């Protein structure tokens, strides 16, 4: 039996400026959403009136948004570093 490895190199051409703009918009949207959630969580009146599942949902979404922000910043850094290599 003959065994061999096949390596496929696929270079996807992207519009770096358009991708950077899309990533920036995503990052702005995530940061606005997390700021709104934090504002709600710091509002004592909101916390007193809001049902526990709503408050828990905002807290869980904040954690998700932190992960998304981190990934988005990494994507921007990767895009910037690939620009420097070309």
Task: Give the model confidence (pLDDT) of 3-60 as tens digits.
Answer: 777 777 767 777 888 999 999 999 999 999 999 999 999 999 999 999 999 999 999 9
The pLDDT value recorded for residue 47 is: 96
The pLDDT value recorded for residue 1 is: 67
Report residue 14 as tokens.
């992207």
The pLDDT value recorded for residue 82 is: 72
For 13, what's the count of Cα atoms within 13 Å in the CB-facing half-sphere? 0
Task: Give pTM, 2 decimals.
Answer: 0.75
Question: Do the beta carbons of residue 36 and residue 61 sit within 8 Å?
Answer: no
Q: How far apart are CA 4 and CA 52, in angstroms?
A: 58
For 44, what's the count of Cα atoms within 13 Å in the CB-facing half-sphere? 0
């Amino acid at each position: 039996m003959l065994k061999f490895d096949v390596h496929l190199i696929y270079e996807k051409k992207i519009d770096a400026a358009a991708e950077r703009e899309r990533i920036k918009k995503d990052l702005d949207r995530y940061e606005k959403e997390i700021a709104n959630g934090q504002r709600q969580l710091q509002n004592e009146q909101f916390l007193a009136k809001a049902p526990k599942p709503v408050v828990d949902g905002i807290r869980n979404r904040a954690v998700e948004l932190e992960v998304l922000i981190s990934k988005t910043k990494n994507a921007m850094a990767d895009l910037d570093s690939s620009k420097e290599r070309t």
